[in-house]
């Protein structure tokens, strides 16, 4: 899954939660809130795996943290 696809997936999952909480008043604030929640998730992945990412000897960006940095950037772009 590309970072852009993952970013959209995370935002969509968060939007679902906002829609359940506020199904009568859905508006741009919920979109913003969904993005903020998705960013929090990515930040948690990055900070909780910081040591692990630094220790892995792997060419795959998913395992060195750069994948999640790209996901974070894409969330901001959506």
pLDDT at 41: 92
Structure confidence by residue, pLDDT tens digits, 11-68:
888 877 765 555 556 555 677 888 899 999 999 888 887 666 655 555 555 566 788 8
Q: Is the dihedral of CA 67, 73, 77, 78 positive or negative?
A: positive
Report domain extents, the chain.
3-77
Indicate whether 4 pLDDT > 60. yes
pLDDT at 74: 94
Does residue 32 contact residue 38 with C-beta atoms inside 8 Å?
Answer: no
């Amino acid at each position: 899954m590309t970072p852009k696809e993952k970013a959209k997936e995370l935002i969509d999952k968060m939007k679902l939660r906002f829609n359940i909480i506020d199904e009568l008043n859905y508006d741009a604030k919920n979109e913003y809130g969904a993005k903020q929640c998705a960013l929090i998730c990515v930040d948690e992945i990055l900070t909780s795996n910081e040591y692990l990412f630094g220790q892995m000897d792997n060419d795959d960006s998913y395992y060195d943290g750069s994948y999640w940095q790209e996901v974070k950037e894409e969330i901001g772009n959506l």
